[in-house]
Chain A
């Protein structure tokens, strides 16, 4: 891919108010939620003041391309790949930076997730008072470790249950303790380092039982059209960011309720006689959140392991496929055989049909489809969604 001249990106960013969204999971949806919240706050006649990279193209080139197509938009809501965050801070001086979460993803390329967190932390420290207000997920120690370098942070408790990458204190390496866990709800409790000053910050905005509790303690039913508890957490972050840009809670919520299928996520389409809802999950934390959303009796899981998916499929063994017991699974995609072995050891019934079109077409029923990145893009095209 063309590596864009950083100065060109800097010029395109210049003169705009910028909010950037990053993290391992939920970037695209949160960016859509935030853009919708901002548009709602501006009102219909001003909605074209907002530019966003709506299709998930979140590297230098994708961001520059979106900006270049909207020279007059003075508000930019930018989904930003984890590796681009430091450049956006340096080149764009964003007002707000949303840091959602940090978990293992594409380890064949990223090797150590802490290096990415360090790049965020260093960029925030270097920006100092010119840096962004950070909206950060208080539940993730690595996010907190990076965000603490910002001039000001709005902490959000997203009520996430994934904690596989939150064992060690990112600052001193001690094993983190958990306070007040609620095993019955899957809530791991607040984290706390026994050896240094790192501890879960108290959140200004939090998610509780599917509601968003705002900074005044008022509970809001988000009534989102995008499903899943993790999207309530994403909406809480988008709400906090919208407030920083001057949009009130009610306007922001009204906007976010219009979001249905960001870049094809959660869209329903037809493949012959099959009606299929498409869900995307790119890493174990994403699969952990998405598997409980599969409602149909027959589900299709689409797997590949080319560079854009991550070349290593080891993560499958961190996913609790055992919860699919009782469903019929169709494993598809170029690496369906790897999934079939995983499912065999999970004692889940599975049929392998490697070809995506053959697996999806003419099942004569509704199915939920959960897919890694490249099969997801192919399924969108096959289903006429892209």
Chain B
């Protein structure tokens, strides 16, 4: 029996400067290759977001794009309703920051209200975090395939000026081995709160990290998925993990 799955790329043109549409490409293919019937909506500002999707994806963007996106998404309310009904909201970089309660923009660190879907707040750090990042996913909530050993490692590229503090309702997504991530003392990266997940690494992150991709799909579908070998992925993952560790020792 095939099942249709609806994925929405939220404001691709505003929040998509780091190849973030790749996360949608990856989820679509991983569903197709397993016999599902995925459907993608590339949602742009000015038109309503679909209210019936299984997964909403947000990516990176500049300061101006962040504030415009928050204003429009706040009016919409779709993401709040989605989170309430347990749909997956997955956000990267600027998308991650705007899901929080506050973030800052501009040289004067003007504090802006976020969407409040994650109990996090972001302020500009002293130094911008730019470079390869290696983290290890913490055990993820819900009935999913547990990731162990090297499968739990996440690699990507981070490029953000904001440093993020987690409140009591949000749990860290991962622990930082190399890189900055949230920039907190506990060396955590990203945040999870119910079915809402935010993270800094792009790459895009789901392309490099199939375990995280399948975690999102399993959460959205409420069912386990069979493993899906993608031929070049193990070699890329080995190469990236080794390269990042080698650079950090140098």
CB within 8 Å of B: which residues of A? 104, 107-108, 111-114, 164-165, 167-168, 173, 175, 284, 311-318, 337-338, 340-347, 350, 352
Contacts and interface: CB of A to CB of B under 8 A. Distances in A.
Contacts of B157: 108, 311-314
B18 A341 contact: no
Contacts of A338: 236
Contacts of A337: 232, 235-236, 239
Given A175-B46, A316-B19, A317-B22, A342 B65 contact: no
Contacts of A312: 18, 157, 159, 202-203
B130 A345 contact: no
Interface string B120-162: 0000000010111000000000000000000000000101010
A344 B32 CA distance: 13
Given A107-B159, A168-B64, A175-B45, A341 B208 contact: yes
Contacts of B159: 107-108, 111, 312
Given A340-B232, A345-B207, A114 B202 contact: no
Nearest to B92: A314
B25 A345 contact: yes
A181 B163 CA distance: 41
B233 interface: yes
B40 interface: no
A341 B19 contact: no
B99 to A, nearest CB: 20
A361 B162 CA distance: 47
B29 interface: yes
A114 B208 contact: no
Contacts of B44: 167, 175
5 contacts: A108-B130, A111-B128, A112-B62, A315-B18, A345-B29
A340 B62 contact: no
Given A314-B157, A317-B20, A344-B231, A173 B64 contact: yes
Of A316, A338, A341, most B-chain CB atoms within 10 Å: A341
B204 interface: yes
Nearest to B14: A167
Contact of B13 (A108, A167, A317): A167
B233 A341 contact: yes
A314 B45 contact: no
Given A107-B159, A313-B203, A341 B25 contact: no
Using C-beta atoms within 8 Å of the partner chain, give the interface range for chain B: 35 or more
A173 B68 contact: yes
Given A104-B17, A317-B25, A341-B208, A114 B230 contact: no
Contacts of B207: 317, 341-342, 345
Contacts of A311: 130-132, 157
B21 A317 contact: yes
Contacts of B231: 344
Contact of B202 (A167, A314, A340, A343): A314
Contacts of B45: 167, 175
Interface of B: 13-14, 16-22, 25-26, 29, 44-46, 62-65, 67-68, 128, 130-132, 157, 159, 161, 202-204, 207-208, 230-233, 235-236, 239
Contacts of B64: 114, 168, 173
Given A108-B159, A344-B231, 6 more contacts: A167-B65, A312-B18, A313-B157, A317-B25, A347-B29, A350-B232
B24 to A, nearest CB: 9
A311 B29 CA distance: 26
Contacts of B67: 173
A317 B236 contact: no
Contacts of A314: 18-20, 22, 157, 202-204
A173 B106 CA distance: 14
B19 A315 contact: yes
Of B19, B22, B131, B204, most A-chain CB atoms within 10 Å: B19
B14 A317 contact: no
Contacts of A284: 19
Contacts of B204: 314, 317
Contacts of B232: 337, 340-341, 343-344, 350, 352
A168 B65 contact: yes
A318 B230 contact: no
A167 B62 CA distance: 12
Contact of B230 (A107, A341, A352): A341
Contact of B14 (A111, A112, A168, A341): A168
A311 B44 CA distance: 29
Contacts of B132: 311
A101 to B, nearest CB: 16
B187 to A, nearest CB: 22
Given A315-B19, A344-B230, A164 B25 contact: no
A347 B33 CA distance: 11
Nearest to B29: A345
Nearest to A169: B64
Q: Which 8 A/B pairs are nearest by Cβ-Cβ distance? A: A317-B22, A317-B19, A314-B19, A167-B13, A340-B232, A337-B236, A314-B18, A312-B157
A114 B17 CA distance: 13
